[in-house]
Amino acid sequence: MIVEKLLGWFSVDMGIDLGTCNTLVCVRGEGIVLNEPSVVAVRKGTNKVLKNGTAVGSAAKEMLGKTPGTISAIRPMKDGVISDFDVTEAMLAYFIRKVTGRSRLFAPRVVIAVPSGITAVERKAVFESAARAGARRVYLIEEPMAAAMGAGLPVGEPTASMIVDIGGGTTDVAIISLAGMVTCESIRVAGDEFDEAIIAHMKKHYGLMIGEQTAERIKVEIGSAAPLDKETTMDVRGRNMVSGLPQKVVVGSEEIREALLEPVGQIVDTVIRTLENAEAELSADLVDNGIVLAGGGALLRGLPRVIEERTGLSVRVADDPLTCVARGTAIYLENLEEWKGTMDSDVDDG
């Protein structure tokens, strides 16, 4: 006990949000110290991580879609499952070392928020990767739980809280009460799917090929789920599919909204399904408590309104939705003794 306390003083305890798009690291007492894309550059064919400073994070993301023949930039967590254990381990190790690099004397305790849909084998792999990367202790917490904590929801109380975390690869819809997830559904429809819908729209209506990064820019700049006060347009550049040459077209926010209808609808349907399957007592709580949105996808304009209209419940976006999970891991870290063993999601204690 006392030894643990002393070790805590001399080591950096950190919480990690291992997201499908972005990885964030929170250090106890310092807040968020790292926020980088969950991207790794590898040698094509071998999946060997490049051995230089550009292999992981922001530098690697800039390579997405622009890599020469021998290199590819991959997102190992893309679908909320671990597609490649070695690459995921390299990424996790890189981020942990980058933070402990400025380190103190002892190895850190690490809390990692993992996608709710990952298998026991994948959990074990994350756990062992962190241990190999130098963690003294590793705790795993499920992302929706961390998101709810970061959003300031009363997760420990005997009242239902509903969190909808719309990330890049997955949307998690969970109802939490008494420090446990009563229900949780995860679908592979989130921000990436919005981007893909925009890519398909540009192909179909303009014969224009655009990359993922361009699609994401369109979404962030003019994308919406409900009518805007002031509809806008945007210049989009890509490659004409017929001539093969670079081309510029002007697209409007209405047509992009139309393109996003399908994936937005799938997310709303999942929220409704979860509500329909909830116990009556939990439903009763949610009438008062409403729904909270987290994750980058929550920033899509008009999304809270659409969910509000379809469910009849009040919906709000958490403060700083992109950092909710990371801040949740930090809260968990601060209350480790209290939470440890009380949550059904944290048990893998070294």
Alpha-carbon distance of 339 to 333, in angstroms, equals 9
Assess 299 for contact with ligand ADP (CB under 6 A): yes
* Interface region with ligand ADP, contact rule CB under 6 A, candidates 7-15, 104-112, 161-169, 338-346: 161-169
CB of 223 to ligand ADP, least distance (A): 6
Q: At what angle do helices 303-311 and 253-276 cross, to 10 degrees?
A: 40
Structural Rg of the chain based on CA atoms: 21
List the single partner that 22 binds among ligand ADP, Mg ion, none, CB under 5 to 8 Å by kind.
ligand ADP
CB of 1 to ligand ADP, least distance (A): 35
CB of 164 to ligand ADP, least distance (A): 12
Assess 167 for contact with ligand ADP (CB under 6 A): yes
Per-residue binding string, ligand ADP, 213-232, x by CB under 6 A, is ---x--xx--x---------
Assess 169 for contact with Mg ion (CB under 5 A): no
Closest CA to 222 of 208, 240, 241, 202: 202
Contacts of 112 (CB under 8 A, 6+ apart): 15, 16, 18, 92, 126, 127, 130, 138, 139, 140, 141, 329
Assess 171 for contact with ligand ADP (CB under 6 A): no
Which residue carries 């139309």 as its tokens?
A: 258
CB of 113 to Mg ion, least distance (A): 8
Assess 328 for contact with Mg ion (CB under 5 A): no
Per-residue binding string, ligand ADP, 59-88, x by CB under 6 A, is ------------------------------
Assess 115 for contact with Mg ion (CB under 5 A): no
Contacts of 103 (CB under 8 A, 6+ apart): 11, 12
Among 322, 326, 333, 336, binds ligand ADP (CB under 6 A): 322
φ, ψ of residue 162 to 5 degrees: the values are -115, 125
Q: At what angle do helices 191-206 and 212-222 cross, to 10 degrees?
A: 100
**Residue 301: other Cβ atoms inside 10 A:** 18
Number of residues near ligand ADP (by CB under 6 A): 19
Alpha-carbon distance of 311 to 294, in angstroms, equals 17
CB of 205 to ligand ADP, least distance (A): 21
Query: Interface residues with Mg ion (CB under 5 A)?
Result: 19, 167, 325
Query: Interface residues with ligand ADP (CB under 6 A)?
Result: 19-22, 167-169, 191-192, 216, 219-220, 223, 295-297, 299-300, 322
